[in-house]
């Protein structure tokens, strides 16, 4: 078994141990940003379907041919999406994890109509109210969700990147409560260092890069 496939299976085993009844409902997004296709191919050949990129142009160059050949691949945009890149993002991404403004929501709505595509979308929540981070303030979340629904966006859940202050579980718990209040079934949070904590608080999508592929050079 290839090293990165073995890494993936170890992650699955840990998730199964933590949530034995739900492990098959938790999506592991293999964060393949900056890695070459030759580095990713063992996972594709193994049958893994969910991959994450944070730059639209890199994703187009890397994944267009592969997705044309393999329709099971689900590509997740996990980085910030600029409005001038929406047209290109909808050509390649199946999921957008970083909806963070009305301006972006309007642009995605317009482009959906033009392209006849409807990506699944997570609203990014600025759970720590950090000035330097994107995301919707939790106090404005209900109104923003209503705004998005009126635009016919397919909002399936919320996403957060918590502050790096050793209180991660507090933010994960708060996100879980928010998600339940909005009756969302999907919750995107947790990365290589804290995905198990995120799953403890009902994350259904986790973004794992270095624990699968190793360190980026």
For 97-133, the pLDDT digits (tens) are 999 999 999 999 999 999 999 999 999 999 999 888 8
pLDDT at 135: 96
pLDDT at 1: 79
- Residue located via tokens 């594709």: 44
Is the pLDDT assigned to residue 23 strictly greater than 80? no
pLDDT at 44: 97
pLDDT band for 26, please (50, 70, 90 cuts): very high
User: CA 202 to CA 136: how far, in whole Å?
Assistant: 20
Percent of the chain scored above 90 by pLDDT? 92
State how many domains the chain has: 1
User: 43-57, 79-93, 94-108, 128-142 — which is least confidently predicted?
Assistant: 128-142
pLDDT at 165: 84
Is the pLDDT assigned to residue 36 strictly greater than 80? yes
pLDDT at 120: 98
The continuous run of DSSP H or E covering 9 comes out as helix 3-18
pLDDT tens across 133-159, in order?
899 999 999 999 999 999 999 999 999
pLDDT at 192: 96
As given in the structure block, the two tokens for residue 195 are 């995905």
C-beta atoms surrounding 114 within 10 Å: 9
Is the pLDDT assigned to residue 164 strictly greater than 90? no
pLDDT at 187: 98
pLDDT tens across 175-216, in order?
999 999 999 999 999 999 999 999 999 999 999 999 999 986
Mean pLDDT along residues 41-47: 97
User: CA 14 to CA 85: how far, in whole Å?
Assistant: 37
pLDDT at 132: 84
pLDDT at 64: 97
Q: Where in the sequence is the domain holding 69, given as residue range(s)?
A: 3-213
Taking Cα atoms as reference points, which of 115, 116, 113, 81 lies closest to residue 95?
A: 81
Mean pLDDT along residues 56-78: 97
CATH number of the domain residue 153 falls in? 3.20.20.10
pLDDT at 217: 60
């Amino acid at each position: 078994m290839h090293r990165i496939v073995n890494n993936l299976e170890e992650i699955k085993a840990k998730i199964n141990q933590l949530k034995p009844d739900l492990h098959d409902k938790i999506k592991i997004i293999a964060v393949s940003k900056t890695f070459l296709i030759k580095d990713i191919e063992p996972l594709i050949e193994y049958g893994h379907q969910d991959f994450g990129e944070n730059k639209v142009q890199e994703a187009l160059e890397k994944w267009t041919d592969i997705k044309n050949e393999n329709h099971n691949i689900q590509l997740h945009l996990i980085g910030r999406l600029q409005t001038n890149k929406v047209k290109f993002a909808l050509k390649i991404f199946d999921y957008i994890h970083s909806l963070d403004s009305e301006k972006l929501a309007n642009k995605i709505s317009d482009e959906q109509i033009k392209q006849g595509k409807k990506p699944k979308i997570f609203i990014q929540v600025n759970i720590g109210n950090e000035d330097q981070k994107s995301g919707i303030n939790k106090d404005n979340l209900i109104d923003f969700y209503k705004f998005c629904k009126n635009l016919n966006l397919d909002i399936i859940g919320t996403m957060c990147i918590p502050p790096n202050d050793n209180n991660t579980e507090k933010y994960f718990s708060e996100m879980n409560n928010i998600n339940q209040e909005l009756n969302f079934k999907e919750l995107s949070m947790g990365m290589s260092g804290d995905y198990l904590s995120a799953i403890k608080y009902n994350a259904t999508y986790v973004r794992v890069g270095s624990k699968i592929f190793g360190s980026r050079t």
